[in-house]
């Protein structure tokens, strides 16, 4: 196989990798905020459910979660799912896993806000919602950006775990080509792709941090 066709195949897998990455972020970032609200809720039962959820998601391997989400419909309910379920299963597993991590990041950010900000807003007549949206959230966003960047970089690498249920993302394809040709090159090339992807992600996040450095 020529280098050109290897790169073309890897690129195909890379697109899948990007797709998993983007969809996971799009759903898990807002879901994480919702879970963090649950975690901070005054309603004890909601708080407990959120706590248990986060604990399980963080306490068990992501790979196991992917496999459970994929096989549960058949193993538990005897529902036959076609191979079309693979992709939704992987997205679902990634989203519920990453939402748990994001929830804890949001919570730490929200809880680190000084009480004075809430009190100043209250005396000025802001409603609870206005206070959160106008005063608290923008400042929390700035505070949580560095840990969010960390998670995002981890996510780029974690997408490779989709190979456990044979999703044709970049790592799966690199492993296949490498095994077929007993050649290390596809794996090294995949490594370069992951590295460049992360470099772009890190640079972008750094730019965002810079943009928010107009205040302290």
Partner 1 sequence: MSEKAVLLEMNHVKKSFDGKGVLEDISLKVREGEVVSVIGPSGSGKSTLLRCATLLEHMDGGELIYLGQTACSEKPDKQGKSRCVYASKAELKEIRKSFGLVFQSFHLFPHYSVMKNIIDAPIHVDKVPHGEAVERAERLLAQLGLSDKADNFPYQLSGGQQQRVSIARALALQPKILFFDEPTSALDPELTVEVLKVIKELAKEHMTMIIVTHEMQFAREVSDRIVFMEHGVIVEEGSPEELFATENPRVKEFINKLY
Binding residues vs partner 1 (CB under 8 A): 114, 116-117, 119-120, 122-126, 130, 134-135, 138-139, 142, 214-216
Output the smallest distance, CB 206 to partner 1, in A: 19
Distance of CA 16 to the CA centre of its chain: 15
Nearest to 36 by CA among 111, 121, 138: 111
Instruction: Return the number of the residue (121 or 173) whose C-beta is nearest partner 1.
Output: 121
DSSP assignment of 120-153 equals: HHHHTT--HHHIIIIIIHHHHHHHHHHHHHHHHH
Output the smallest distance, CB 213 to partner 1, in A: 11
What is the C-alpha to C-alpha distance for residues 193 and 184, in angstroms, rounded to an integer? Answer: 15
What is the smallest separation between the CB atom of 144 and partner 1, expressed in angstroms? 14
Give 59 or 116: the residue with its C-beta nearer to partner 1: 116
Residue nearer to partner 1 on the CB measure, 91 or 121: 121
Neighbouring C-alpha atoms within 13 Å toward the C-beta of 45: 0
Nearer to partner 1, 84 or 125 (CB): 125
Whole-angstrom CA distances from 1 to 6, 8, 47 are 7, 11, 55
Q: How far is the CB of 83 from partner 1 (least distance, A)?
A: 48
The radius of gyration of the chain's CA atoms, rounded to the nearest angstrom, is: 21
- The owner of tokens 């005897």 is 78
Nearest approach in angstroms of CB 125 to partner 1 is 4
User: Is-contact 155 202, C-beta < 8 A?
Assistant: no
With respect to partner 1, which residue has the nearer C-beta, 77 or 215? 215
CA angle 110–113–116, rounded 5-degree value: 140
Q: Contact, 90 vs 20, CB < 8 A?
A: yes
Of 61 and 138, the one with the shorter C-beta distance to partner 1 is: 138
**Smallest distance, partner 1 to C-beta of residue 135, A:** 6
């Amino acid at each position: 196989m020529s280098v050109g066709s290897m790169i073309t195949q890897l690129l195909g897998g890379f697109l899948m990798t990007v797709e998993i990455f983007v969809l996971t972020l799009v759903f898990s970032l807002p879901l994480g905020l919702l879970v963090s609200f649950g975690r901070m809720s005054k309603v004890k039962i909601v708080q407990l459910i959120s706590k248990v959820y986060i604990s399980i998601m963080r306490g068990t391997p992501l790979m196991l979660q992917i496999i459970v989400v994929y096989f549960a419909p058949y193993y538990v309910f005897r529902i036959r799912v076609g191979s079309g379920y693979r992709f939704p299963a992987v997205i679902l597993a990634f989203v519920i896993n990453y939402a748990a991590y994001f929830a804890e990041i949001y919570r730490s950010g929200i809880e680190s806000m000084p009480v004075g900000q809430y009190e100043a807003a209250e005396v000025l007549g802001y409603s609870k919602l206005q206070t959160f949206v106008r005063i608290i959230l923008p400042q929390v966003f700035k505070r949580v950006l560095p840990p969010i960047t960390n998670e995002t970089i981890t996510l780029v690498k974690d997408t490779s775990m989709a190979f456990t249920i044979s999703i044709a993302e970049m790592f799966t394809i690199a492993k296949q080509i490498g095994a077929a040709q007993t050649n290390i090159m596809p794996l090294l090339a995949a490594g370069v792709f992951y590295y460049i992807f992360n470099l772009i992600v890190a640079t972008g996040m750094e730019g965002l941090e810079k943009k928010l450095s107009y205040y302290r």
